Amino acid sequence: MYGAPVTQQVRVRFTVEPNYAGWRLDRYLQEKIRRLSRERVQRLIEHRLETEDGRRLKPSTRVAPGLSFALLKDAEAEPDTPQAFAVVHDDGALLVVDKPAGLPVHPTARYAANTFTSLAKLRYPDRKVDPAHRLDRETSGLLACGTAPEVTKVLKRDFAHARVHKTYLALALGAPAEDAFTVDAPLALTGASAVRVRMHVAAAGLPSQTAFEVLARRRAPDGAPVALLACRPRTGRQHQIRAHLAHAGLPMVGDKIYGPDEEIFDRFTRRAMTDEDVALLRLPRHALHAWRLELPHPLTRAPVRLEVPLPPDLAAFWEGCAP
């Protein structure tokens, strides 16, 4: 006698970010799992949502920053992601890695196992490696982690209180009018776009400021001007650097949301990008790299300064541009 096939389930964990404060839970999850209908999201909340304290949440529950919960989902084949990362610094307490582009940091509705946190758990079974900040899946570069809860708590506090200085490298299309400039423009999720996760400059948004420095100027093979920029975010909003560059008329190379046509992102999620989309983007991922970190050590408080060069894909694009 044979039993029914057993469907394995995985827990996809969520922690509400500050910019979603006050949102309905069902709307928040629609932003995070954009391919699902509102009706489907509401069913998941009612039947497949778990909280740490066992509290029941409703679709209409207003979320607060820091709220954590998990959704149970049937395991399915995940998209391939890079399965290796380089260690830049490891002294037993502070672990800093060079995250490759394409590797999600935390589990999402689409990625449960193929994430940095899953890989770190396998690589360091005796340590509780926990990233102190986030990098988008397509963003490469430095990711700082604590290796024990008490260390991660200090790291996250340092990030929250602006004691950590981050510098990114970006390749942007266009010719900046000045070699150094600052974009000071509030950002918000307004729902005014077909891409629900797109941040917009809005008067009612959260204060957001990024300083930019032009490191070099070149031209792409098709003659388009390209600038290599050092980007120093002074606040920590979602997609801040990308949104501020687009606002300044300098869209990031390869950006599917803030680049030449935001509809490219929708076609990308449906695996329906056209040859024209590929040509417009010039790169298969957005050209943003977490280049430099300067922070106090979470235990000794001694200054730590780390840097990693552009990865091969961005370096090759830049080298292919004419001075």
Residues taking part in catalysis: 136
Cα–Cα separations (whole angstroms), residue 276 to 158, 273, 281 = 44, 8, 9
Query: What tokens does 152 get?
Result: 């991660």
Phi, psi (degrees; rounded to nearest 5) at 86: -90, 140
Nearest alpha carbon to residue 85 among 318, 316, 311: 311
What CA–CA distance (Å, rounded) separates 315 from 266? 27
Question: How wide is the angle at C-alpha 238 spanned by C-alphas 267 and 11, nearest 5°?
Answer: 75
- Decide if 37 contacts 53 (C-beta within 8 A): no
What CA–CA distance (Å, rounded) separates 195 from 258? 10
- The rounded Cα 302 to chain-centroid distance in angstroms is 28
Query: What tokens does 67 get?
Result: 């709220």
Burial 28-62 (b: 16+ CB within 10 A, else e): bbbebbeeeeeeebbebbeeebeeeeeeebebebe
Cα–Cα separations (whole angstroms), residue 204 to 42, 185, 208, 242 = 29, 10, 12, 19
Cα–Cα separations (whole angstroms), residue 112 to 100, 104, 232, 270 = 17, 9, 31, 19
